[in-house]
Structure 1
Amino acid sequence: MTRSLDFTERNVYPGPQDREFLMNAPASGGSGGAHGMDLKDYVGVLKNRWIWIVIATTLGVVASLAITMAMTPKYTAKATLFVTVQSSQDTAYARSQYAMQRVGSYPQLISDPAILNGVIKELDLDLSMQDLKESLTAANPVDTVLINVTGSANTAERAADIANAAAPLLAEQISALENTDPEKLLVTPELSVPATEPVSPVAPRKTVNLALGFIAGLSLGIVLALIIDKLDPRVIRAKDAERRTNLPVLGKVFTARGKSGNGRNRNDYRQLVSSLLMANDAHLPQRILILSDPKAPTIDAIELASTLAAIGKKALVVQGDTRMPPLDTAESTSVGLGQVFLRTVTLQQAVQNKPEVPMGYLPAGSEEVELRGYDVFRQMEPMIADLESGHDVVIMLTTMQSTPVDGAAVAIHCDCVLVTCQEKKTTFGHLKRVINDLSSVRVGATGLIVLRKSRRFARPRKG
């Protein structure tokens, strides 16, 4: 496959205006060579896919709330025993040390079947000993003579009843084990703080669960946004277009608005022309083919011609697809390129001059034109050569399947082939088909132009 960009025989060499334009032009619209995603790209993905993040986060919170509401609440209540030791043979300090040494083993007695059966009978619980064992615990705070008996239940009242019933039974069990000789040693566990009904359950923790649901949903949303962006068949970022097509993005411009020339996107087209010049050693191609998607808008041809006029180059814009809107909706498009091929009008009669730009314009003509591919191909080269006699640059606007002229028929006659793709509209499959169709006639695309939707209420930028 030969590359279409070859200016050795047919070129417009740069003059002083071109060099000054290159020096003052904005930075190139391409991504600068690196095709990996950086932090800015990830932020762009999150901005573009924010709806998925919101949906996933909302679902995470709703699911957490639903699970929390479905869970059975759990209440806990705590009763406290204070253990004292009396001995006629030891000092007060020795008795306190003895109590602290012994009290650490007392919480294990809470699982004694006698205590569990006593609680079940006292409260008339419909629980097995194993179930009650899981709902009843005891602990000794470090360096204290206290024993905390904790009861758990699905109601606050039942939790307090279990703790208050178990604490005295535990005290009786301790006394029975330790007070074998009360005259020498007397251990007395007393209920110092009875259990009270808790105000709120310890589980489920609604705030914590909602926070976890929010974090899980947000994380899932971010991952989902990145996956969807990766699988999206549309052109979203210039870097992705370069990576998938191996073609440089020469510029990102706004689409045609029907009425141009207001200067709002002037910098974008200066950027495009600058990138084209810098990519080719400051040589401006004389024949430029711009291929568009038939289902998407095309470039702002008048703005492009105005940019070329700013460096002293008069452009002629030729539309090769009758489906394209005219540059000026007030103009008649019944006479154009199709009628020139049919020889019903001359080329000079079909070309419209726009001295205010300045530029020339050749519309596609009537939609009823039926032409043979052979006739179009045979007349294309002499027609373009004739157009070049009065213009510095000939810009052909068409698609790969169009009438009267398709992209393949005119590509082999052009120095530069640019393929347009619209942000969030054009698919990579379409770009691949265009590149393959060009390859079938041994023409390689020069680069890509990314089209951005016109911002109707955008503030005009200084050009």
Structure 2
Amino acid sequence: MAKPLDFRDQRTWSDASGLGMENSAVQGAAGMDLSDFIFVLRTRIWWIVASAILGVVAASLITMSMTPVYTAKATLFVSVKSSQDTAYARGQFALQRVGSYPQLINDPKLINQVINDLDLERSFQNVKANLSASNPADTVLLSVTANAPSAKEAADIANTAAPLLADSIGKLENSDPKTLTVNAVLSVPASQPQFASAPRKSVNLALGLVAGVSLGLLLALGVHKLDPRILRARDAERQLRLRVLGSVVPLSKQGSRTQSASSQIGYRQLVSNLLMANDGRLPRRMLVLNTRTDTMIDGQQLAQTLAALGKHAVIVQGDDLRAPVATEDTERDGLAQVLAGTSDLSDALVRVKSVPMAYLPAGPKQDSLRQFDVFAGLETLIASLEAEFDVVIFVASLEGQPVDATAVALHSDCVLLTCRERRTTYHQIKRSMQALNAVRVGATGLLIMKKPRFYQRQPKG
């Protein structure tokens, strides 16, 4: 009966398997480290890109919908005349007093005068909020700044408000013209600005980009956490507490074998990991349990890998949905007829001399085959195959015909669950593990079918 393999030295296993699995993954670490974030960025990059584009588009639309604001500035020069003081004293007096003049711009009479002179269709509060004055540090200058929806209106408001502010200063200070006179002269008139001061398009687009990327990162992390599919070996081990023994390219739908170097390395890695985990001994009875129809192994590739170790293998197809070995005759007798007693095992076996290996297909549907016949004949069948072959490999599924995978698991030394990268869900694997636990059989490990590369470079020669 199959049971989970005893991985005595986890550090040696992790280093030798080449799968990049850390001990923390086996222990079920819940947090995410740098490699997890990099993986999320690689696999969910389109979420981030799409969110960034949406952020920029939203910022562009908002910016376009905003009313442009133009800013114009007029400058007043404040001077002091006094017959009794020196030039230095007059300058110090001007510096001390000029800092209080900007507040005069809020005079309601001044603002109403600006509105009346320019016949503005704007409220008092609006003009007041967009009209200001300031005194640059350590200068006798006054800057009058006006904001308006058009460049001409902004310049007109600034040029109208500046002389009115100068008059207000004169009325306030020149109470005794014989002793002291303060003059504010429009030294630099406001000109029409060429560009709007608001909204700042570049800043808004940058903020939209940052907000979009940030939202994309949050979405990518959230989708990654909620994704029920198996994405990589490390996550599978962490979630299922089950060793990943290898990753290979799945058999194509046409039944042809993948000859790429990565596929060969994957099956060699699988066999090496089985040997390492089982003290150098290869299980004689193996069950490959398919969780989906697209997780079928390449039986001929696996048998060829075992043949390189001097092991003569036989592949038994227990599931009639898909064949692990491509054959031209799909209607010949197979496993169903052997278990029903209507065909001999030697006649049903297909021998492939080029590998070398043998293959026992599922055979046509046998209506007279009962579950009792399956359970009664399995041990005898496996024993007969063991007498001739070094390794007997059953390929089956939970609902497969003619043989259910749980029935084969009772007679197996090793049970491998297969899953498809980015397609198989954790629920499908857990369902298979629960079915095995129901007959008190433990899963040995997990075999991941990688996504095939359609544009893989062919080896030279």
TM-score range, shorter chain: over 0.9
The offset of 1:445, in angstroms, is: 0.3
The more displaced of 83-92 and 394-403 is: 83-92
Shift of residue 461, structure 1, vs aligned partner: 6.7
Alpha-carbon distance in 1 for matches of 2:343, 2:286? 24
Residue of structure 2 equivalent to 1:4: 3
Distance 1:285 1:443 in 2: 15
Determine whether 1:259 maps to 2:249: no
Alignment partner of 1:311 out of 306, 309, 312:
309
CA distance in 2, matches of 1:374, 1:188: 116
Give per-residue Cα distances to partners, 1:156-208, cap 9 Å, x unaligned: 11111111111001000101111111122111100001111111111111111
The answer to whether the aligner puts 1:27 opposite 2:17 as a matched pair is: yes
Counterpart selection for 1:113 from 93, 108, 111: 108
- Aligned partner of residue 157 in structure 1, secondary structure: helix
Distance in 2 (CA, whole Å) between partners of 1:267 and 1:6 is: 22
The equivalent of 2:174 in structure 1 is 179
* Number of the residue aligned with 2:184: 189
Secondary structure of 1:90's counterpart equals coil
C-alpha displacement of 1:45: 2.2
Letter in 2 for 1:317: I
Q: Distance in 1 between matches of 2:79 and 2:39?
A: 69
CA gap of 1:201–1:263, structure 2 versus 1, over 3 A, is closer
Aligned to 1:330: 328
Question: What is the correspondence of 1:89-238 to structure 2 with a 5 Å cutoff?
Answer: 89-238=84-233
Unaligned runs of 5+ in 1: 8-21
Alignment-derived partner of residue 429 in structure 2: 431
| In structure 2, distance between residues paired with 1:405 and 1:91 | 115
Matches within 5 A, 1:386-397: 386-397=384-395
Q: 2:158 aligns to what SS in structure 1?
A: helix
In structure 2, the CA distance between the partners of 1:305 and 1:345, relative to structure 1 (3 Å rule), is same
Question: Following superposition of structure 1 onto structure 2, how do residues 270-281 of structure 1 map, counting pairs within 5 Å?
Answer: 270-281=268-279
- CA distance in structure 2 between the aligned counterparts of 1:243 and 1:27, rounded to whole angstroms: 17
Residue 303 of structure 1 and its aligned partner are, at CA, apart by 1.2
Counterpart of 1:242, as a letter, is E
Structure 1 letter corresponding to 2:223 = I
What's the counterpart of residue 28 of structure 2? none
Moved more, 440-449 or 211-220: 211-220
Over aligned residues, Cα RMSD in angstroms?
2.1
Please tell me whether residue 416 in structure 1 is matched to residue 406 in structure 2: no
Note closer, same or farther for the CA distance 1:390–1:5 as it changes in structure 2 (3 Å cut). Answer: farther
Residues 254 and 37 of structure 1: CA distance in aligned 2, closer, same or farther (over 3 Å)? farther
The structural deviation recorded for 1:30 is: 6.0
188-197 vs 271-280, which deviates more?
271-280
- Give the whole-Å Cα distance in 1 for the aligned partners of 2:154 and 2:354: 90
**How much does 1:44 deviate?**
2.8
Q: Which amino acid aligns with 2:415?
A: V
1:387-421 deviation line (CA, Å, top 9, x unaligned): 00111111110101110011111101001101000
Could you tell me which runs of 5 or more consecutive residues in structure 2 were left unpaired when the two chains were aligned: 7-11, 26-30
Per the TM alignment, residue 277 of structure 1 is displaced from its structure 2 partner at its CA by 1.4
Q: Post-superposition shift, 1:50?
A: 2.6
User: Which segment drifts farther, 403-412 or 359-368?
Assistant: 359-368
TM-score (norm 2): 0.92
Q: What amino acid is the match of 2:23?
A: G
In 1: Cα distance, 2:270 partner to 2:226 partner = 29
CA distance in 2: counterparts of 1:260 and 1:133, whole angstroms: 81
Residues 305-354 of structure 1 show CA distances to partners (whole Å, capped at 9, x for unaligned) of 11111111111111101111351242334311001011111111111211
1:358 aligns with 2:356: yes
Letter in 2 for 1:34: S
Distance in 1 (alpha carbons) for counterparts of 2:441 and 2:234: 23
Q: Is the 8 A contact 1:317 1:360 kept in 2?
A: yes
Match of 1:404 in 2: 402
Change (3 A) 1:159 1:97: same
Cα distance in structure 2, aligned partners of 1:452 and 1:461:
20
Q: After alignment, is 142-151 or 222-231 more displaced?
A: 222-231
Range moving further from structure 2, 450-459 or 324-333? 324-333
Deviation at 1:140, TM superposition (A): 0.2
Q: Which AA in structure 1 matches 2:251?
A: A
Alpha-carbon spacing, 1:329–1:352, altered in 2? closer, same or farther (3 Å): closer
How much identity, in percent, do the aligned residues show? 52
Structure-2 change in CA distance of 1:237 and 1:307 (3 Å): same
Q: CA contact under 8 A between 2:296 and 2:324: conserved in structure 1?
A: no
Match of 1:448 among 441, 446, 449: 446
Task: Give the deviation of 1:83 after TM superposition.
Answer: 0.4
* Structure 1 residues 347-406: Cα deviation after superposition (integer angstroms, max 9, x where no partner): 111112112111111111113545211110111111101100111111110101110011
CA contact (8 A) 1:314 1:393 kept: yes
What letter matches 1:310 in structure 2?
A
Number of aligned positions between the proteins: 446
**What secondary structure is seen at the aligned counterpart in 1 of 2:22?**
coil
C-alpha change, 1:422 and 1:69, in structure 2 (3 Å) is same
Report if aligned partners of 2:283, 2:413 keep a CA contact under 8 Å in 1: yes
Once residues 136 and 246 of structure 1 are traced to their aligned partners in structure 2, the CA distance between those partners, rounded to angstroms, is 69
Letter in 2 for 1:417: V
Q: Distance in 2 between matches of 1:456 and 1:368?
A: 38
Q: SS at 2:41's partner residue? A: helix
CA–CA separation in structure 2 for the residues paired with 1:117 and 1:227: 57
| TM-superposed deviation, 1:39 | 3.0
2:65 partner letter: A
Cα distance in 2, alignment partners of residues 443 and 391 from structure 1: 24
SS in 1 for 2:17: coil
Give the match for residue 269 of structure 1. 267
- Partners of 2:92 and 2:127 in 1: how far apart? 33
Match of 1:12 in 2: none
Tell me by how many angstroms 1:120 deviates. 1.4
TM-score w.r.t. the length of structure 1 is 0.92
- Higher RCO structure (Cα 8 Å, ≥6 apart): 1
